[in-house]
Structure 1
Amino acid sequence: MTTGPRPRPPYLRIAEDIRARIDSGRLRPGDKVPSTRQIIDEWGVAMATATKALAALRQHGLVHAVPGTGTVVSDPTAHHRTRPRPPRTTEPAGRERIVHTAIGIADREGRAAVSMRRVAAELGVGTMSLYRHVPDKDELLRLMADAAFAETPLPGAGHRGWRARLEELARRQWATYRRHPWLAPIALTSLAQPPLLPAGMAHVEWQLATLDGLGLQHRDRLRIAVGLNGYVGGIAMSHSLDAEFTQETGITSRQRHDTDEPEMWKLLETGRYPHLAAAATSGVELDLDDLFEFGLQNQLNGIEHHLAHRAGHRRNPPR
């Protein structure tokens, strides 16, 4: 029994169709290519497939995202004029230099743009020379995350209480996540079994020391520290996904919201969502920084309540 060739994934067929338009000159450098919404309508596919099609074109250097405009056809000659490739050098690239360069790429273009080949090109060295310091991309991402957390200074010693100290570190972590949108998906692969990040371990050690002397068992102190870090990272994950979507499509979350708003109001007007409709008509707008601050205070209130409950339980043990 013989079988024919496996069909190409839909996103590749879409990418090839758009590439054909570019090759034929129907789409010229600087022209906008179909947006994810237009791909969904024209090819009848899901949002994820449309996003993957644009990502495939981007990976081949055929298009690039322009924030506020969308995804446009790239001009290879202009790219080489504006960003000349560094000359080849025999100077070895140390691990710290490799990690610093990779972080720069990720900050500018997102986590997906980081590869051993790309880092080597930025450094002007051969790709194989990097493997003497970093065994693979996964390890490079881990080192990048550790370096990012190492940028976050731990609050200094002082006479402030545990709440003010935990609050200050949480805000510093949030600032780090905001500075490096690619960080959250790497650092938060698992809360229970996180990746080995010495700088991240230093944060947890500092939090455990801050909670020492409050009558908590080791297990509860660890739960509080990891839970609080998970809250900060969870809000940061939303920021990361939003940044990745914009980098892949050129569409900001505000533009996406504006596109979906008419359909949203149709749903609200059905009467099935009265509380959401009331909130929407009141002019409430959600902002990640505001959500972070509101949630952080509730996290700390919960810890405070837990400590007070335990103290009361010790004073009045059950009979």
Structure 2
Amino acid sequence: MTHDGGPGIDPQQLWLSDGRPRRGRRPAFSREAITEAAVALADTEGLEAVSMRRVAARVGAGAMSLYSYAPDKETLLELMVDHVTGELPAPERTSGDWRAGLKAVAHLQRAHMLRHPWLPAALATHRTPGPRALAFLEHVLAILRPSGLDGAARLEVFAQLTAFVAGYVTHERAQAAAARSTERAAAEARYLAAMAADGRHPELAEALAAPARPVDADATFTRFLDRLVDGLDAV
């Protein structure tokens, strides 16, 4: 889903209108229904399965009739991202402890992206925050106010955090899929052991010799997140 060099999406037209056609008879469906159908399709079959034809079939419409609501798949993706962002609860402020607040936001985001596995990939091309995304952003910026960061830096921190969570969830799901293949996991373990024993990778050998941590996705995410957030400098 890339831009073709044209003007792209007009945010005002997309988000400040109700999305209903101005002419013709009253439609039997809405932009919200179309978006919900696209999200359901992506949740069950992946982002690649989302097409105007498949979404139209879900709402009982002709594919061409959808283009007055979402003129292209890029616009539909914007609608989908904002729609599911509305599921996120407003993060709570934690009595001025902005680091704790930011970590709570990250845990909300991770759970959300695990519910919608297509979301990390969609965020990579997402351009235009809609009203639900802006409402969530407003809460996060308020959490960050006690940090002493200026507005631009607070926006950067939110972007950094979201990118971290999206990357982690993508890696987490890939690792979980790989772990289901015990043969592959055993082959990878043998390979790393051989590389560590060749004398040319002493740092790797020392790392592999350390006691293994229990495999716990939640605990691993928390450790990574602590390192990221605790290392942020309020400048």
TM interval, short-chain normalised: 0.7 to 0.9
Spell out the pairing of 1:72-151 with structure 2 (5 A cutoff).
92-151=28-87
CA contact (8 A) 2:31 2:69 kept: yes
Aligned match for 1:294, one of 199, 223, 226 = 223
Q: CA deviation at 1:136?
A: 1.2
CA distance in 1 between counterparts of 2:113 and 2:187 reads 28
Aligned residue number for residue 169 of structure 2:
236
CA contact (8 A) 2:98 2:146 kept: no
Aligned residue number for residue 44 of structure 1:
none
TM-score, length basis structure 1 = 0.56
Q: CA deviation at 1:214?
A: 4.3
CA distance 1:159–1:263, shift in 2 (3 Å): closer
RMSD: 2.8
CA distance in 2 between counterparts of 1:229 and 1:101 reads 25
Q: Could you list the runs of 5+ residues in structure 1 that have no partner in the other structure?
A: 1-90, 247-251, 311-319
Spell out the pairing of 1:19-30 with structure 2 (5 A cutoff).
none
Q: Could you list the runs of 5+ residues in structure 2 that have no partner in the other structure?
A: 1-26
CA distance in 2 between counterparts of 1:137 and 1:158 reads 39
Question: Is 1:269 equivalent to 2:197 in the alignment?
Answer: yes
- DSSP 3-state at the match of 1:153: coil
Q: CA deviation at 1:203?
A: 2.8
CA distance 1:239–1:99, shift in 2 (3 Å): farther
CA distance in 2 between counterparts of 1:253 and 1:93 reads 41
CA contact (8 A) 1:93 1:130 kept: no
The count of residues paired between Structure 1 and Structure 2 equals 205
CA contact (8 A) 1:181 1:239 kept: no
Q: CA deviation at 1:133?
A: 1.2
Name which one, 1 or 2, has greater alpha-carbon Rg.
1
TM-score, length basis structure 2 = 0.74
Aligned residue number for residue 152 of structure 2:
219
Identity, in percent, stands at: 35
**Higher mean C-alpha deviation, range 203-212 or range 271-280:** 271-280
CA distance 1:125–1:259, shift in 2 (3 Å): farther
**Higher mean C-alpha deviation, range 219-228 or range 139-148:** 219-228
CA distance 1:214–1:110, shift in 2 (3 Å): closer
CA distance 1:284–1:271, shift in 2 (3 Å): farther
- DSSP 3-state at the match of 1:205: helix
**Higher mean C-alpha deviation, range 221-230 or range 144-153:** 221-230
Question: Is 1:171 equivalent to 2:121 in the alignment?
Answer: no
CA distance 1:300–1:158, shift in 2 (3 Å): closer
CA distance 1:273–1:136, shift in 2 (3 Å): same
Question: Is 1:205 equivalent to 2:150 in the alignment?
Answer: no
